[in-house]
Amino acid sequence: MSAESARTIALPGGEEIAALGQGTWYLGEDPARREQEIAALRLGVDLGMTVVDTAEMYGDGAAEELVGEALRGRREEVFLVSKVLPGHADRKGTVAACEGSLRRLRTERLDLYLLHWRGRWPLEETLAGFTDLMEAEKIRYWGVNEPLGVLLGVMPWNFPLYQVVRFAGPNLVLGNTILLKHASSCPQSALALEQLFTDAGVPTGVYTNLFVRGRDVGKIIDDSRVQGASLTGSERAGVSLGESAGRNVKRSVLELGGSDPFVVLDDHNLERTVYAAFLGRMGNTGQCCVAAKRFIALADVYDAFVTGLRDRMSEVQPGDPVDPATTLGPLSSEAAADLLMEQVRDAVDKGATVVLGGGRPDLPGAFVEPTLLTDVTPDMRAYREELFGPVATVYRVADEDEAVALANTSPYGLGGAVFAAEPERARGVADRLEAGMVWINHPTASRPELPFGGIKRSGYGRELGDVGIVEFANRKLVRYVDADAPIEEVLG
């Protein structure tokens, strides 16, 4: 984003702050500026109030097509900026090194969501109306999905581009406009996405990036013009946002933590099952809400499964993320690594067996060794808490009933996976798992055409698919009665 695009906004009292693009507000940390910061937030909300003028224009996915075209023309610059640290001594070298690792994300995810979203469901039914529900002689019923207006999105750092797109995409298709508060640790991703909208010619206010502190999110939700909020992040943040939304009687969607079970019922194609477990646990260095974290194996396959998973995890090579030989990067921060090690040490101190790892490698950065724990018991933190990193726990169970009971002891209920040769057997276990999503013979994942979300402490509501697009829609019922028809009894 060029310096020429910067402008200033006058705040109450005559002071000014810098604003970039479509409303990126750089707010100070000085408590004395609190009222001025609130004023800046209000200005940001004002930018989002073009929904009345733009909903009809962009309700058919035109905004996504404009942004998608801009993405296709500048994809290298846009995707690489999210990974390159400011002030890096070898910026060009880092960009080149990152290119290969980002190729899959480019080709399989962002193009799909930004450019082709509108083809993932029947818009003529989902957006124009869900067809006549009943037609009698002089009475008709039909429904219409209408946008609610301005929505706030609070998005996480672990998938800084994809998470934003899957929230913004369907809501812009519907006709809502977006205020986006990204995680404080990935401002470059926030700026890159906003710049795409600017370069595509999308009117100011359709997508507005806000650099605000987490504790100020409630002020935005309190504004009567904001109609709903969606958060992907920690349980603590979700509780706070949900409380604010509930107090204001506004819709919200929460996608929070997870401690997904991965249930192994037999030894059919065990090498494939072990590989699936490895990918499900180690993807994104284990920093994924829907990652497999608790592996539950029946007794007759337990030993072979533990051995196979240990061997797979031991092959991982930690190191510099820009080194092609590296297969395990650091965690997001030292605080994250410290928390994970506290959970591991707590388990070991209380009797858990360390099959692999259990420490931190002698490398600069927030690295944690790939760790495999067994003999984990309910008194350990690792039994009930989410392990957000390359740490797996494996449990031995006698039968399917014990597997289901153990899987359902978690306070979370995001996803789960069941592996078995017999479809009916796998389906029987899947149907009993307390989770928002269960995949059979594949690690839990997300796809644009499938609803995504959880239950229990993992949150509520759904993203993606034909379900996700109407989370922030007014599903209006319209009933037509002929002007000469008799009046029916009125019940409320």
Please identify which of the residues 37, 98, 289, 434 carries the catalytic annotation. 289
Can you tell me the distance from the alpha carbon of 158 to that of 175, in angstroms, rounded to the nearest whole number? Answer: 27
> What length is written for the chain?
492
- Looking at per-residue pLDDT, the higher value among 271 and 128 belongs to 271
Can you tell me the distance from the alpha carbon of 232 to that of 415, in angstroms, rounded to the nearest whole number? Answer: 15
Q: Is 416 helix (H, G, I), strand (E, B) or coil?
A: strand
Burial state string for 184-211 with b = 16 or more CB within 10 A and e = fewer than 16? eebbbbbbbbbbbbbbbebeebbbbbbb
- Residue (of 252, 208, 264, 201) closest to 417 by Cα position: 264
On whether the CB atoms of residues 44 and 179 are closer than 8 A, the answer is yes
On whether the CB atoms of residues 20 and 5 are closer than 8 A, the answer is yes
Query: What phi, psi does 62 have (nearest 5°)?
Result: -65, -35
Residue 300 region by backbone torsions, left for phi larger than 0, else alpha for psi between -120 and 50, else beta:
alpha
Can you tell me the distance from the alpha carbon of 82 to that of 192, in angstroms, rounded to the nearest whole number? Answer: 7
Please identify which of the residues 37, 64, 194, 255 carries the catalytic annotation. 255
pLDDT tens-place string over residues 453-491: 999 999 999 999 888 888 999 988 887 788 888 887 777
- Residue (of 254, 253, 262, 234) closest to 444 by Cα position: 262
Q: Is the pLDDT of residue 155 over 80?
A: yes
Strands of the 134-135 sheet, one edge to the other: 134-135, 139-147, 473-481
Q: Is the pLDDT of residue 228 over 80?
A: yes
Q: Is the pLDDT of residue 129 over 90?
A: no
On whether the CB atoms of residues 227 and 260 are closer than 8 A, the answer is no
pLDDT value, residue 433: 98
356 sits in which H/E element: strand 353-356
In single-letter form, the type of residue at position 116 comes to H
On whether the CB atoms of residues 437 and 339 are closer than 8 A, the answer is no
Can you tell me the distance from the alpha carbon of 251 to that of 236, in angstroms, rounded to the nearest whole number? Answer: 18
Q: Is 136 helix (H, G, I), strand (E, B) or coil?
A: coil
- Residue (of 293, 339, 347, 333) closest to 458 by Cα position: 293
Q: How confident is the model at residue 61 (pLDDT cuts 50, 70, 90)?
A: very low
Can you tell me the distance from the alpha carbon of 481 to that of 479, in angstroms, rounded to the nearest whole number? Answer: 7
- Residue (of 253, 285, 235, 252) closest to 410 by Cα position: 235
Q: Is 126 helix (H, G, I), strand (E, B) or coil?
A: helix
pLDDT mean over 211-236: 94
pLDDT mean over 1-19: 36
Give CA 389 to chain center in angstroms: 16
Can you tell me the distance from the alpha carbon of 121 to that of 7, in angstroms, rounded to the nearest whole number? Answer: 40
- Looking at per-residue pLDDT, the higher value among 84 and 459 belongs to 459
């490895």: which residue's tokens?
Answer: 278
pLDDT value, residue 82: 35
Lowest average pLDDT, out of 125-129, 166-170, 470-474, goes to 125-129
Can you tell me the distance from the alpha carbon of 395 to that of 177, in angstroms, rounded to the nearest whole number? Answer: 46
395 sits in which H/E element: strand 391-397
pLDDT value, residue 110: 45
Please provide the distance, in angstroms rounded to a whole number, between the alpha carbons at the two ends of the chain: 55
Q: Is 288 an annotated catalytic residue?
A: no
**C-alpha gyration radius of the chain:** 25
pLDDT tens-place string over residues 253-305: 999 999 999 999 999 999 999 999 999 999 999 999 999 999 999 999 999 99
Q: Is 255 an annotated catalytic residue?
A: yes
On whether the CB atoms of residues 168 and 207 are closer than 8 A, the answer is yes
Q: Which residues, in sequence order, are CB contacts of 10 under 8 Å at separation 6+?
A: 16
pTM of the prediction?
0.77
pLDDT tens-place string over residues 433-452: 999 999 999 999 998 889 99
